[in-house]
């Protein structure tokens, strides 16, 4: 992706009222056996997924755990739309699954810092986020996976350098 798209997290109600103003795509998440959201036809594309807001297998046929199939579909969808202005992600309440996807995409594609997003979306579904990143890294072509690893390594090295500088200042002050 040339520039990181804006990622907007919405509830289903807000997503159904939302009208795209630019080149935008939507990842629409509904509960299994529920009616799909009625979304604007102004979206360039819509990926519709159905899974339950759970973080582990429950062993009940009505509950569907987010898995590698969902994750790979999201990664393929995002890769098909590299030049969008915005990716809208919605689920029923906009609190668990859609923030999990938004944060996972931000982490996977190195679109920015995830800590502010984690604070903003404290109830995000961490299983969805982690599984999306894990499966996404396996699905990415090697050059993209290497680039993401280098970005993560650079960030880790910067943290170590900062910690070393802080330690040195504390030692000087003592």
Q: According to the model, what pLDDT value does residue 140 have? A: 84
Give the C-alpha separation, 75 to 68, whole Å.
10
Give the residue from 43, 50, 9, 57 showing the smallest Cα distance to 29: 50
Q: According to the model, what pLDDT value does residue 174 have? A: 56
Give the C-alpha separation, 73 to 81, whole Å.
13
Exposure class string for 149-165: b at 16+ Cβ within 10 A, else e:
eeeeeeeeeeeeeeeee
Q: According to the model, what pLDDT value does residue 97 have? A: 98
Q: According to the model, what pLDDT value does residue 139 have? A: 85
Grouped pLDDT means (10 residues each) for the chain, 174 residues: 86 98 97 96 98 94 95 97 97 98 97 94 96 94 54 47 46 56
Give the C-alpha separation, 155 to 159, whole Å.
6
Q: According to the model, what pLDDT value does residue 141 have? A: 76
CB 104 within 8 A of CB 136: yes
Give the residue from 93, 92, 30 showing the smallest Cα distance to 64: 30
Q: According to the model, what pLDDT value does residue 144 have? A: 58
């Amino acid at each position: 992706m040339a520039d990181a798209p804006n990622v907007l997290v919405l509830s289903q109600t807000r997503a159904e009222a939302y009208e795209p103003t630019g080149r935008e795509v939507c990842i629409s998440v509904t509960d299994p056996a529920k009616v799909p959201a009625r979304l604007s036809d102004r979206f360039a594309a819509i990926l519709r997924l159905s899974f339950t807001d759970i973080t582990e297998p429950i062993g009940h046929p009505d509950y569907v755990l987010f898995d590698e199939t969902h994750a790979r579909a999201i990664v393929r969808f995002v890769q098909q739309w590299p030049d969008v202005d915005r990716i809208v992600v919605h689920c029923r309440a906009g609190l668990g699954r859609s923030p999990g996807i938004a944060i996972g995409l931000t982490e996977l594609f190195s679109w920015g810092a995830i800590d502010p997003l984690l604070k903003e979306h404290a109830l995000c579904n961490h299983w969805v986020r982690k599984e999306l990143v894990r499966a996404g890294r396996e699905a990415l072509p090697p050059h993209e996976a290497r680039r993401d690893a280098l970005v993560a390594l650079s960030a880790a090295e910067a943290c170590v350098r900062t910690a070393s500088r802080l330690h040195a200042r504390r030692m000087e002050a003592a």
